[in-house]
Amino acid sequence: MISWLKTMQSSLDTRLDSATQLMGQIRQDAGRFAELSLSMKNLQDYLKSPKLRGNIGEQVLKDLISQMFPKNSFFLQYQFKSGDKVDAAIKTDAGILPIDSKFPSENFQKMMAAENEEEKGIARKDFVRDVKK
């Protein structure tokens, strides 16, 4: 009987040790998840600023165009004779193709979050107007 109790005690000790190790691993994973969640929130807050989001968009556009086109076939921060400025312009046989990297996310988000067709229609018009700018 004593031998059986010792065997059971040993088995319980082993299981408790395993459970303790597992709980420790779960705590570590939860900590990593919390850090990742905070990092994602910080990035989301960072991207809420239209100016910062625009800077990122311009950099991505610059990188894409630089990789896709020869250096003498595009301009960055191109200004037309009218004074209008665009983030990039690509030379084509038909003329200059202006490109603006900014995406009107505020009205796009309103359009996607609209709860009825009337709100969606208003937001869609605002979004289309923003895109045409």
62-112 residue pLDDT tens: 999 999 999 999 999 999 999 989 999 999 999 999 988 877 778 888 888
- Looking at the chain, the number of H-run helices and the number of E-run strands are 4, 3
Q: Does residue 122 sit within a domain?
A: yes
The pTM (predicted TM-score) of the whole model is: 0.51
Q: Does residue 57 sit within a domain?
A: no
Q: Does residue 78 sit within a domain?
A: no
Q: Does residue 27 sit within a domain?
A: no
Q: What angle do CA 12, 14, 19 make, to 5 degrees?
A: 90
Domain around 109 = 103-133
Q: Does residue 39 sit within a domain?
A: no
Strand-pairing partners, residue 75, are 89
Q: How many angstroms separate the CA atoms of 71 and 80, rounded?
A: 19
Burial class (CB in 10 A: 0-12, 13-18, 19+), 16: exposed
Q: Does residue 64 sit within a domain?
A: no
Q: Does residue 120 sit within a domain?
A: yes
Q: What is the pLDDT of residues 27-74, one digit of tens each?
A: 999 999 999 999 999 888 877 777 887 888 888 889 999 999 999 999
pLDDT of residue 4: 84
Q: How many angstroms separate the CA atoms of 64 and 55, rounded?
A: 14
Q: Does residue 114 sit within a domain?
A: yes
Cα Rg of the chain (Å, integer) = 29
Max CA separation in the chain (angstroms): 99
Q: How many domains does the chain have?
A: 1
